[in-house]
Amino acid sequence: MHRRMNQVGCALGVALLGMLGCGGTLEGDSLEALGTEAAGVTALVPKKVMPLGDSITQGAAGRGSYRCQLWRKLTRKGYRADFVGTLSTGYLGENTCSSAWFDRDHEGHWSWRADQVLANISNWAASTRPDLVLIHLGTNDTYYDQTEDSTVSELEQIIDRLRVVNPRVKVFLAQIIPTSGASLSLKLQSLNQRMPGLAEAKSTQDSPVYVVDQWTGFTPSTDTYDGIHPNLIGEEKMAERWFQAIRAHL
């Protein structure tokens, strides 16, 4: 009888504890309780996660981007995540993944700068209402000689507009991966040094901003297929960084 009561308690308690497994391992705050109830049990829905960025987020046809590997890591650990966005394909075709299926929804836009994302983020957020947003932006801004100040300002405004839709949105802001071009990488590194200050300035108790270091340990010669876009090794590295950040902060 005691064992049966424990099983029932676990089934009901997950509504209150988020993602606490029956085995007692805390995996993260990946579920949220809705206000409606059926038969005395609170309904649960996955957290909505928006991968937001440029081509590094979108990935090309025939490739999964980091999103595939991140999806596998989350689901293997028992997280229930709903990837959201207005897109579901890679550049010029479908993303592919060694997994039989992964949630392909995203907001990665090939060759876009932060100002272009800023011009559209309000509509995207209103239609998908994300709980977590993974931002990897700035590569194209640097490539097209946008100033650091303008890129930082646009990232700040993106966060502001996300909060209009969801005042409790959690933002994971990447220090972006390097490229094989030495001069461009120096500019990217300089931009990355601004990210901790940006996060500290914008972070609030209700809507924290966390910096995710995607730069350190990423080697363009071995981790990309063209000096810019991650290959399978690079996708795995990026996915692991996102995953560890999500686990640590939820």
Backbone region of residue 78 per phi and psi (left: phi > 0; alpha: psi in -120 to 50; beta: other values):
left
pTM surpassing 0.85?
no
Contact 106, 68 (CB under 8 A): no
Q: Tens digit of pLDDT for each residue in 146-186?
A: 999 999 999 999 999 999 999 999 999 999 999 999 999 99
Whether 223 shows a pLDDT value over 70: the answer reads yes
Q: Which of 33-42, 83-92, 180-189 has the highest mean pLDDT?
A: 180-189
Please give the pLDDT value at position 23.
Answer: 30
Whether 194 shows a pLDDT value over 70: the answer reads yes
In the chain, domain spans: 2-33, 43-249
Please state, in angstroms and rounded to a whole number, the distance separating the CA atoms of residues 44 and 80. 10
Residue from 201, 208, 197, 199 nearest 166 by CA: 208
Q: Which residue shows structure tokens 């957020």?
A: 125
Mean pLDDT (whole number) for 190-209: 98
Percent of the chain with pLDDT over 70: 78
Whether 108 shows a pLDDT value over 60: the answer reads yes
Please give the pLDDT value at position 146.
Answer: 96
CA separation, residue 143 to residues 59, 181, 193, 211 (Å): 18, 10, 17, 22
Q: Tens digit of pLDDT for each residue in 44-68?
A: 578 999 999 999 999 987 777 999 9
Q: Which residues, 6 or more positions from 166, have their beta carbon under 8 angstroms from its beta carbon?
A: 125, 129, 130, 131
Whether 77 shows a pLDDT value over 80: the answer reads yes
Please give the pLDDT value at position 13.
Answer: 34
Mean pLDDT of the chain: 84
Kindly state the tokens that stand for 209: 């901003």
Please give the pLDDT value at position 93.
Answer: 56
pLDDT confidence tier of residue 18, bands split at 50, 70 and 90: very low
According to DSSP, the β-strands at 31-38 and 41-53 are antiparallel
Please give the pLDDT value at position 41.
Answer: 36
Please state, in angstroms and rounded to a whole number, the distance separating the CA atoms of residues 214 and 178. 9
pLDDT confidence tier of residue 106, bands split at 50, 70 and 90: very high
**Greater model confidence, 50 or 30:** 50
Contact 85, 51 (CB under 8 A): yes
Please state, in angstroms and rounded to a whole number, the distance separating the CA atoms of residues 167 and 181. 39
Element housing 244 (H / E): helix 232-249
CATH number of 43-249: 3.40.50.1110
